[in-house]
Structure formats: structure tokens, C-alpha cells
Structure 1
Amino acid sequence: MMNKWAVAISAVGLVFTVSGCSSDYVMATKDGRMILTDGKPQVDNDTGMISYEDQKGNKLQINRNEVSQIIKR
């Protein structure tokens, strides 16, 4: 329970810390990573994949089951 609170507090802190960046969304993964995206990530309900563009302009995908939350900045 305490670990979930720590992750949530860290996610909120990261959002405020990177507010100067050009990303519009932050995706928190279940393994603790924070992924900054340019634009809104798109969910494909047929495949279960989330497509997004990273800060370098690369188009990437991640399985929806790996993402714990998506936060709009």
C-alpha cells in the first residue's frame, strides 16, 4: 500500500518537475518508469497497444497492460 502512494506522489512530482518540457502527457508504467509523450497517446482497443510519440519524434507503442496511468499535463 505504501509503495503505491510513493509511486503516485513521485508521478505528481515528476509532472510538476518537467512542466517546462514540450510533452503533453506522462505515462506511468507498472514497473515505475515515467514516459513523456508529445501529444495524446492513442489506445488501439483491438490490439491493446498504446501508440505515442516520444520527445525525439519517434513513434512507439507499449502494451496497455504495462501502463498504470496516463496523466495530462
Structure 2
Amino acid sequence: MRNKLLTTSLFAAAALFTVAGCSSNQAVKTTDGQTIVTDGKPQVDDDTGMVSMKNAETGKTEQINRDQLKSMGELDN
């Protein structure tokens, strides 16, 4: 019983750290000089070339064409 509880606790902790590690903010720089801070990692649609992201400042989901992006990088939280 004790081993089962310990194993379950370890799996729960590992899952929590995995989810927390994936939710870091990103800085997206556009070709026109704008910087957008996103809440989490932007999602790229390879079929349409659009990048979807949640703006950390406004909370709204935005899309931008991949051709209009200069760089994307993870921010230190």
C-alpha cells in the first residue's frame, strides 16, 4: 500500500512539473518592429502558415502570418 502511494505521488509530481515547464511566456518579434509577449508557446499551422498565440497583455488569441515574424524566443519567468 505504501509503495503504491509513493509511486502515485511521484507520477503526480512529474506530471505537474511537465505541465509547468510547458507554459513559459514567449517574446514574438515581427518584421515591423512590434514585440508581442505570449502566454505559452505559439502554435504554428503548417498548412496555412499562420501562427496562433494568446497575447499575455490582453488575454486575446491572435493570429499572424509566419512571413511577418522575425523571431520567437522563450522569456525567463
In the TM superposition, what is the alpha-carbon distance from 1:72 to its structure 2 partner?
Answer: 0.7
TM-score, normalising length: structure 2:
0.63
Query: Does residue 70 of the first structure (1) align with residue 55 of the second (2)?
Result: no
The CA distance in 2 between the partners of 1:57 and 1:28, in whole Å, is: 18
Q: Which residue of 2 aligns with 1:26?
A: 27
Question: After the TM superposition, which segments of 4 or more aligned residues of structure 1 sit over 4 Å from their partners?
Answer: none
Structure 2 unaligned spans of 5+? 1-23
Identity over aligned pairs, percent:
45
Structure 1 unaligned spans of 5+? 1-22
Which of 1 and 2 has greater Rg?
A: 2
The CA distance in 2 between the partners of 1:32 and 1:60, in whole Å, is: 17
TM-score, normalising length: structure 1:
0.66
Aligned length: 51
CA RMSD of aligned residues (A): 1.1
Amino acid in the other structure paired with 1:63? N
